[in-house]
């Protein structure tokens, strides 16, 4: 792992490829304010967070505020490692975390690191939340997921963008690609000195522009020469199709929509064993679009006839 000082009060902890079962790299970012520490994301569990705790202990008598940039498991599973602190996130991040916790916890068990306790954000915001005394701002900037937001250290001109920016390509876990591009334009407009990505460390403005161009082409359905990132691109294309069906199911069921139930039943209809859901991203890439179209009418019928 790598520990790096950023600006006058930031510490970037980067878990590198090979440090976790997940592969690739992931960073969490700690900012030392006047009376409080702010920790952006908590990775996969309690053990990885020990190194952050040690750093916090060096400056006693400061509270900790955790910020979850979005609700994906690899950014929130370490929330439970810290007792008695506030956890801040966008209101939809709390909702999405609650919705999919059980599903991810069961299927992605192999990624757990030490203890993983379910601790949801207890302070939520809809547009932004500012700690004025420390000049720390959390702002809603959806894109990678519906619930994504960023942390801006106004004093040091640093922005932690979570998974909005990624090298070589961003993952699109939400269907609104136009809003995603708007969010990246907003990040560019802020022109912070340092931009930190959840999985690519400190990134250059040129990468944000390349990510933006990619999203535009993906939205327009253009032929994309991905060079690197072919796996991400094929996942994105397929995942957007899956999301389309998930959105339809949400529409049909309204308040009665249950994410875990939907996932299990949809995959069952596709003939996938529950055990195989451990490798869902591979399944998503491999399921032909025609298969989805084929099973949908029957699945839709099932949803419409549901009594409960
Ligand atoms: Zn992530």
Ligand 1 geometric centre to CA of 120 (Å):
17
Ligand 1 geometric centre to CA of 299 (Å):
30
Do 282 and 147 have their domain in common? no
Ligand 1 geometric centre to CA of 295 (Å):
30
Q: What backbone torsions phi and psi does residue 36 show, to the nearest 5 degrees?
A: -135, 150
Do 184 and 263 have their domain in common? no
Ligand 1 geometric centre to CA of 135 (Å):
26
**Confidence check: pLDDT of 244 > 70:** yes
Q: What is the pLDDT of residues 140-156, one digit of tens each?
A: 999 999 999 999 999 99
Do 28 and 176 have their domain in common? yes
**Confidence check: pLDDT of 45 > 70:** yes
Q: What backbone torsions phi and psi does residue 148 show, to the nearest 5 degrees?
A: -75, 140
Ligand 1 geometric centre to CA of 136 (Å):
22
Q: pLDDT-derived band of residue 300, with 50, 70 and 90 as boundaries?
A: very high
Does 184 map to a domain? yes
**Confidence check: pLDDT of 58 > 70:** yes
Number of domains in the chain: 2
d(CA 62, CA 164): 30
Distances from the Cα of 86 to the Cα of 1, 33, 38, 83, 167, angstroms: 26, 15, 10, 9, 31
Dihedral sign (CA 219, 222, 228, 232)? positive
Ligand 1 geometric centre to CA of 300 (Å):
31
Residue at a domain's end among 220, 241, 273? 220
Do 126 and 216 have their domain in common? yes
Ligand 1 geometric centre to CA of 249 (Å):
25
Do 237 and 185 have their domain in common? no
Does 225 map to a domain? no
The CATH number given to whatever domain includes residue 75 is 3.60.15.10
The pLDDT mean for the chain works out to 95
Q: pLDDT-derived band of residue 62, with 50, 70 and 90 as boundaries?
A: very high
204: containing domain: 2-220
Do 26 and 94 have their domain in common? yes
Do 132 and 58 have their domain in common? yes
d(CA 212, CA 182): 9
Ligand 1 geometric centre to CA of 63 (Å):
26
Ligand 1 geometric centre to CA of 277 (Å):
19
Mean pLDDT, range 128-146, rounded to an integer: 98
Do 207 and 281 have their domain in common? no
Mean pLDDT, range 249-266, rounded to an integer: 94
Give the per-residue pLDDT at 170. 97
The structure's pTM equals 0.96
Pairing status of strand 149-153 against strand 2-6:
unpaired
**Confidence check: pLDDT of 307 > 80:** no
Q: What is the pLDDT of residues 71-124, one digit of tens each?
A: 999 999 999 999 889 999 999 999 999 999 999 999 999 999 899 999 999 999
Does 109 map to a domain? yes
Q: pLDDT-derived band of residue 227, with 50, 70 and 90 as boundaries?
A: confident
Give the per-residue pLDDT at 308. 64
Do 162 and 256 have their domain in common? no
Residue at a domain's end among 170, 196, 220? 220
Ligand 1 geometric centre to CA of 145 (Å):
10
Residue at a domain's end among 220, 238, 253? 220
Mean pLDDT, range 271-280, rounded to an integer: 92
Ligand 1 geometric centre to CA of 307 (Å):
37
What angle do the packed helices 91-107 and 259-269 form, to 10 degrees?
50
Q: Which residues contact 131 (CB under 8 A, 6 or more apart)?
A: 33, 36, 38, 65, 137
Give the per-residue pLDDT at 147. 98
**Confidence check: pLDDT of 8 > 90:** yes
Neighbours of 185 (CB within 10 A): 13
Does 202 map to a domain? yes
Task: List the alpha helices (DSSP H) in the chain.
Answer: 50-57, 73-76, 91-107, 177-190, 205-220, 230-253, 259-269, 280-286, 289-304
d(CA 194, CA 153): 10
Give the per-residue pLDDT at 110. 93
Do 71 and 32 have their domain in common? yes
Spatial CA neighbour of 210 closest among 254, 177, 166: 166
Which of 186-190, 217-221, 224-228 has the weakest average pLDDT? 224-228
Ligand 1 geometric centre to CA of 74 (Å):
5
Ligand 1 geometric centre to CA of 157 (Å):
23
Ligand 1 geometric centre to CA of 199 (Å):
7
Does 298 map to a domain? yes
Does 149 map to a domain? yes
**Confidence check: pLDDT of 53 > 70:** yes
Ligand 1 geometric centre to CA of 45 (Å):
14
% residues pLDDT > 90 (the chain): 90
Ligand 1 is an ion; its neighbours by CB within 5 Å are 72, 74, 163
Do 216 and 244 have their domain in common? no
Do 216 and 257 have their domain in common? no
């Amino acid at each position: 792992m790598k520990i790096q000082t950023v600006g006058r009060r930031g510490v970037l902890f980067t878990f590198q490829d090979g440090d976790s079962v997940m592969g690739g790299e992931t960073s969490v970012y700690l900012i030392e304010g006047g009376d409080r520490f702010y920790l952006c994301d908590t990775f996969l569990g309690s053990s990885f967070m020990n190194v952050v705790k040690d750093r916090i202990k060096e400056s006693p008598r400061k509270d900790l505020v955790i910020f979850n940039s979005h609700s994906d498991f690899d950014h929130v599973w370490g929330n439970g490692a810290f007792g008695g602190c506030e956890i801040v996130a966008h209101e939809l991040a709390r909702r999405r975390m609650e919705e999919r916790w059980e599903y991810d916890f069961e299927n992605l068990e192999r990624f757990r690191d030490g203890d993983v306790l379910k601790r949801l954000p207890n302070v939520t915001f809809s547009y932004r939340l500012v700690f004025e005394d420390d000049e720390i701002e959390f702002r809603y900037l959806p894109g990678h997921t519906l619930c994504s937001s960023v942390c801006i250290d106004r004093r040091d001109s640093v922005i932690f963008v979570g998974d909005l920016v990624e090298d070589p390509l961003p993952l699109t876990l939400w269907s609104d690609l136009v809003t995603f591009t708007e969010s990246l334009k907003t990040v560019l407009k802020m022109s912070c000195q340092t931009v930190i990505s959840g999985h690519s460390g400190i990134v250059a403005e040129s990468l944000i522009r390349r990510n933006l161009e990619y999203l535009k082409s993906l939205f327009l359905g253009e032929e994309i020469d991905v060079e690197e990132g072919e796996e991400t691109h094929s996942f994105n294309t397929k995942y957007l199709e899956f999301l389309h069906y998930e959105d339809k199911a949400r529409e049909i069921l309204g308040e009665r929509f249950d994410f875990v139930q939907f996932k299990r039943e949809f995959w069952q209809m596709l003939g996938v064993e529950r055990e195989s859901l451990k490798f869902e991203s591979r399944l998503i890439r491999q399921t032909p679009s025609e298969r989805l179209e084929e099973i949908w009418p029957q699945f839709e019928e099932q949803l419409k006839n549901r009594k409960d």
